[in-house]
Each structure stands twice: as structure tokens, then as C-alpha cells.
């Protein structure tokens, strides 16, 4: 399988490089022979896939078919790490992915690891679409040769467990699986849990065998991985957003004509809005699937949510130092607004 993926990456890179020969003259015209490429590491039938496909549809519609794009889903041309590297290097022009793997290359994206900053999705989206924030975050991306076109999401990450969680003390000792991220681990430690990083492919059997008690993910992943089959409760912690970024290689973008830049920008905004609408519908649907299985939903009180945030104060200071005051303040300015 790795050999096949490597061959596919080589073929697509060759197409990209061939197309780049003509891109200074007219990248849009070159796309008729060598379609632009947009790739992700998720199935087409996910919000990531919807975000990707809507962008393709909108670019072709807004350009009256003059610009052609080919979408590659489900890690066909590489996993998240390979995709972000390929976009930075200019081998793949467009990528859609969660911000977590990008933080390994772009340290200041740790701003999105700020726990409990937002528990209301509309407040979060208002911040992400804010002109000042977009300007600052694009300066961060630009330092690594990419441009952020738009951000969508899969709503928030939530906790599933076999223990009824109603107070801050109830988190104590819970063996919870997390991604391998120092801020994620620190957050769960601060609220009394016992976090352990683990590959997602091992989560279901880990819950089944009791290696872990709990895990955290967006609703869509909880359903697609059938995690709810091994858990009695889904706890609406909303501790972190599961963000989806659409990025483009900056050199590729800068070689577009002003007209084509407007098409790409507008297509990204349209795809963002559509994917968010679909996300909200799917969250409701996925939550119904979880509850119909017998897994109970727990809505934490505002007091408990506030205490979870208060216990994260040291993480806030660490992230502020890493990203700088301007970006930190721009991201947190709508924090607590909807509470």
C-alpha cells in the first residue's frame, strides 16, 4: 500500500510540476490539461469531503468551467503529514485538513489547542471569520509558504465514557485516550483525568478490553468508529473545536490573476458556509444515532465548564507565550460571549 501511495504522489507531483511551467502565463488555462489538485485524508462522505467537493464545484461554476480541479480523498495521495508537506513544498496546490497535523510544522497553530476557549460554535465561527484574526493567522501560514483560504469545522470534540460525569471531581482518574499533543494531554491532567495518547485505530479495542475508560472526538468520528458501542455516556465537554482548514500553496496563489484569485477566494467562502450547514445537520443526526444506541448524553453545567477552563490557566499562559499577544488576543476576544 505504501508503495502504491508513493507512486501516486510521484505521478501527481509530476502533473503539478508540469502545470507549473505554464502557471506564470495562465494557471487557469493550464488546468484544462493538468487539473489543479485538492487533497485530504478523509472519506468523501465526511464534512472534510463535503468541504473539498463544494470548493471544486464552486471554482468550476464561478469560472464557467475554465478552471478544472481534481479532488483526491481518503489519503489517496498521502496522510495528513504528507499532504501538508506537499502543500508547503508546492507539489499539491490545495489541501483540506484538521489543523492538528499542521501544528507539527507551524508552531503558532497551537492557538487552536487552547482548551475551553469556546463552547459555543457560533462564537467560534465569528472569530474564525473575523478580518483581523484572518490577517494575523495568514501571516503565520505565510511564514511557511501557504495561505489559509477558509476554515470550516466538525463542531467540537466531546468526551465518551462509562462513568457518569456531572462534576469536576468525576473526571478524576479517568483513563482517557487523546491525540499525541502536549497541550491536549496537559488539559486532561489539569482537570484530574489520566490521559494517554493512542492511535485511533486502537481506541475501540482499548475500550473493549478496559485499557482505557474514555476517549474524545467529534460526534462524526464517534459514530463512524462505532465508539458509542463501548460507552455508556457522551459528555458534552466541547473542550476543543475540530477545525478544518483549506490551505493553498502561497506561490501558486500569488501567480494567479486577480480574477482567478477572486474566484478561488469566493469558492472557498461558499464551500465554508455550505460545509458548516452540513456539519450542523450531521451533528444532530450523529447525536441521535448515539442516543438511539442507549448511550446517554450529559450536558455539563456552566459552573463545571468554567472550572475546567480555570484549571487550564497554565496552558493559556504557555500558548500565549508561544503564539504572541496579538494572535492570542484576536482568537480569544469572543471567548465567553455566548455564556
Co-location of 147 and 67 in the same domain = yes
Domain with 32, as residue range(s), is 2-153+243-281
pLDDT tens track, the chain, 339 positions: 444 444 455 445 444 544 444 444 677 788 888 899 999 999 899 999 999 999 999 999 999 999 999 999 999 998 888 999 999 999 999 999 999 889 889 999 999 999 999 999 999 999 999 999 999 999 999 999 999 999 999 999 999 999 999 999 999 999 999 988 899 999 999 999 999 999 888 999 999 999 999 999 999 999 989 999 999 999 999 999 999 999 999 999 999 999 999 999 999 999 999 999 999 999 999 999 999 999 999 999 999 999 999 999 999 999 999 999 999 999 999 887 655
Q: Strand, coil or helix: what is 20? A: helix
Residues 176 and 267 reside in one and the same domain: no
The answer to whether the beta carbons of residues 177 and 198 sit under 8 Å apart is: yes
Q: Tally the domains of the chain.
A: 2
Q: How far is CA 256 from CA 27, 225, 261, 304, in A?
A: 6, 40, 6, 50
Closest CA relative to residue 242, chosen from 301, 291, 190, 286: 286
Domain co-membership, 17 together with 56: yes
Give the relative orientation of helices 325-332 and 131-142 as an angle to the nearest 10 degrees: 140
**Of 247, 278, 299, whose CA–CA distance to 87 is shortest?**
247
Q: Are residues 16 and 89 in the same domain?
A: yes
Closest CA to 141 of 261, 249, 257: 249
With beta carbons less than 8 A apart as the criterion, state whether 166 and 300 touch. yes
Residue 230 has a CB neighbour count (10 Å cut-off) of 20
The C-alpha angle 124, 117, 54, rounded to 5 degrees, equals: 30
User: Computed over its alpha carbons, how large is the radius of gyration of the chain?
Assistant: 20
Cβ atoms of residues 144 and 108 within 8 Å? no
Q: Which residues contact 124 (CB under 8 A, 6 or more apart)?
A: 118, 153, 241, 334
pTM, two decimal places:
0.86
On whether both 180 and 84 belong to a single domain, the answer is no
Task: Give the list of residues 6+ apart from residue 100 with CB closer than 8 angstroms, or none.
Answer: 80, 112, 113, 179, 181
Residue 321 lies in a domain: yes
Compute the C-alpha angle 13/14/15, nearest 5°. 90
What pLDDT is attached to residue 195? 97
List of E strands, the chain:
36-39, 69-72, 94-98, 146-161, 175-178, 194-197, 214-218, 233-249, 296-298
Burial of 173 (0-12, 13-18, 19+ CB in 10 A): exposed
The CB density around residue 182, as the number of other CB atoms within 10 Å, is 12
- Based on the domain organization, do 83 and 18 belong to the same domain? yes
Same domain for 31 and 117?
yes
The cell numbers describing 294, all together, are 442507549
* Secondary structure tally for the chain: helices H, strands E: 15, 9
Distance, in Å, from the CA atom of 230 to the CA atom of 227, rounded to the nearest integer, reads: 6
42 within domain boundaries: yes
Residues 235 and 315 in one domain: yes
pLDDT (0 to 100) of residue 25: 64
C-alpha cell at 306: 468554567
Residue with C-alpha cell 466538525?
154
Looking at the fold, whether 168 and 92 belong to one and the same domain comes out as no
Q: What is the CATH number of the domain that holds 233?
A: 3.40.190.170
204 plus 143 within the same structural domain: no
Output the pLDDT for position 277: 97
Asked if 40 and 136 sit in the same domain, the reply is yes
Amino acid at each position: 500500500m505504501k508503495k502504491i501511495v508513493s507512486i501516486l504522489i510521484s505521478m501527481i507531483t509530476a502533473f503539478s510540476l508540469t502545470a507549473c511551467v505554464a502557471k506564470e502565463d495562465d494557471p487557469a488555462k493550464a488546468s484544462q490539461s493538468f487539473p489543479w489538485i485538492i487533497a485530504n485524508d478523509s472519506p468523501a462522505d465526511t464534512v472534510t469531503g463535503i468541504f473539498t467537493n463544494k470548493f471544486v464545484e464552486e471554482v468550476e461554476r464561478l469560472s464557467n468551467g475554465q478552471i478544472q480541479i481534481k479532488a483526491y480523498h481518503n489519503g489517496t495521495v498521502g496522510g495528513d503529514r504528507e499532504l501538508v508537506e506537499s502543500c508547503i513544498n508546492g507539489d499539491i496546490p490545495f489541501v483540506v485538513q484538521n489543523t492538528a497535523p499542521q501544528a507539527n510544522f507551524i508552531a503558532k497553530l497551537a492557538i487552536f489547542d487552547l482548551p475551553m476557549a469556546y463552547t459555543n460554535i457560533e462564537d467560534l465561527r465569528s472569530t474564525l471569520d473575523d478580518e483581523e484574526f484572518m490577517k494575523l493567522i495568514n501571516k503565520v501560514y505565510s511564514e511557511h509558504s501557504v495561505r489559509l483560504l477558509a476554515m470550516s469545522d466538525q463542531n467540537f470534540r466531546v468526551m465518551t465514557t462509562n462513568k457518569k460525569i456531572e462534576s469536576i471531581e468525576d473526571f478524576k482518574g479517568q483513563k482517557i485516550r487523546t491525540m499525541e499533543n502536549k497541550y491536549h494531554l496537559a488539559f486532561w491532567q489539569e482537570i484530574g483525568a489520566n490521559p494517554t495518547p493512542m492511535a485511533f485505530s486502537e481506541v475501540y479495542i482499548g475500550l473493549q478490553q478496559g485499557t482505557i475508560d474514555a476517549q474524545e472526538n467529534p460526534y462524526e468520528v464517534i459514530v463512524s468508529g462505532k465508539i458509542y458501542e463501548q460507552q455508556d455516556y457522551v459528555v458534552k465537554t466541547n473542550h476543543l473545536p475540530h477545525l478544518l482548514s483549506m490551505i493553498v500553496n502561497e506561490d501558486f496563489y500569488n501567480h494567479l490573476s486577480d480574477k482567478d484569485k477572486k474566484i478561488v477566494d469566493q469558492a472557498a467562502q461558499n464551500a465554508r458556509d455550505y460545509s458548516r450547514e452540513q456539519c450542523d445537520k450531521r451533528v444532530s443526526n450523529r447525536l441521535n444515532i448515539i442516543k438511539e444506541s442507549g448511550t446517554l448524553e450529559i450536558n455539563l453545567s456552566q459552573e463545571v465548564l468554567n472550572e475546567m477552563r480555570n484549571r487550564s490557566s497554565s496552558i493559556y499562559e504557555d500558548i500565549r507565550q508561544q503564539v504572541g499577544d496579538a494572535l492570542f488576543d484576536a482568537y480569544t476576544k469572543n471567548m465567553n460571549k455566548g455564556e
